[in-house]
Amino acid sequence: MRYINIGNGEIKASAIALGCMRIADKPVKEVAELINTALEEGINFFDHADIYGGGKSEEVFAEAISKKADIREKIIIQTKCGIRHGYYDFSKEHILKSVDGSLKRLKTDYIDVLLLHRPDTLMEPEEVAEAFSILHSSGKVRNFGVSNFNSMQIELLSKYLNQKLIINQLQFSIMHTGMIDSGFNVNMKVDQSIDRDGSVLEYCRLKNITIQAWSPFQYGFFEGTFLGNEKFKELNDKIDEIAAKKGVPTIAIPIAWILRHPAKIQAIVGTTNSARLKDICKASEIELTREEWYELYRAAGNKLP
């Protein structure tokens, strides 16, 4: 497994992290097997949110690792808060309550990283700062970040915080390339030249904020996976070709494509299949050439100017 320094460099994490959104309805024994596989493959980072399974995902995870002695200090647990039923809530009260709920469900004394899940336009950054300071000084949360934020939203929040934001989790895959498209099409009158996120990729690199790629196999907004999808024949043919050349499963190639970027993006994979997870982790054993990376980008339907 390849490892990267997260944000401020205090956390050394696997370049591939296990997303735990879909484990809520799985038997504890099956989840324990999945976590064992992740650990065997070198994964030490596990991504949660208070809304995953209505909190059940955190509970199942805690139960699955309960028989593993000393495991807590060997893994990095990340969770998120801020999404409620039909609205977003970055109030001090909700953040503190949400963290206490996650700590209880995860059966742990601390969370390694807390992310604000989606931007709340009613956010009062002073309130968020108060909540973060309480959580940090109490030892309940060690590090903080955001998810789905643009550059100026991070700047606004950071102005009031005593802690550095070290992560921004964003949707990114071969078929969801908005954060890099505008960089290829500077000063051009085409849709791809529109900067929809405030140059968030470059911003995060400048600020030493690690980007985490969620839904790395998805196209659109939860429309489905592109891998093996007949809608994307050219892309899948190219993935198959490169996988055969590299001697790895096809499922490893989309992740290798993400890991190849010099921003050192961490890929969050949400599979609940242990065998598939092993295949995905093969991505950390290879590095795509520059030519292969661009071939995949073009095969996804992107045109270079």
Catalytic site residues? 52
What string of H, E and C letters represents the secondary structure of the chain? CCEEEECCCCEEEECEEEECCCCCCCCHHHHHHHHHHHHHCCCCEEECCCCHHHHHHHHHHHHHHCCCCCCHHHCEEEEEECEECCEECCCHHHHHHHHHHHHHHHCCCCEEEEEECCCCCCCCHHHHHHHHHHHHHCCCEEEEEEECCCHHHHHHHHCCCCCCEEEEEEECECCECHHHHHHHCCCCCCHHHCCCCCCHHHHHHHCCCEEEEECCCEECCCCEECCCCHHHHHHHHHHHHHHHHHCCCCCHHHHHHHHCCCCCCEEEECCCCHHHHHHHHHHHHCCCCHHHHHHHHHHCCCCCC
Exposed / middle / buried, residue 53 (Cβ in 10 Å: 0-12, 13-18, 19+) = buried
Q: How far is CA 98 from CA 35, 58, 80, 102, 108, in A?
A: 24, 12, 9, 6, 14
Q: Which positions ≥6 away from 258 have C-beta within 8 Å?
A: 172, 173, 213, 216, 265, 267
Q: CA 249 to CA 240: how far, in whole Å?
A: 8
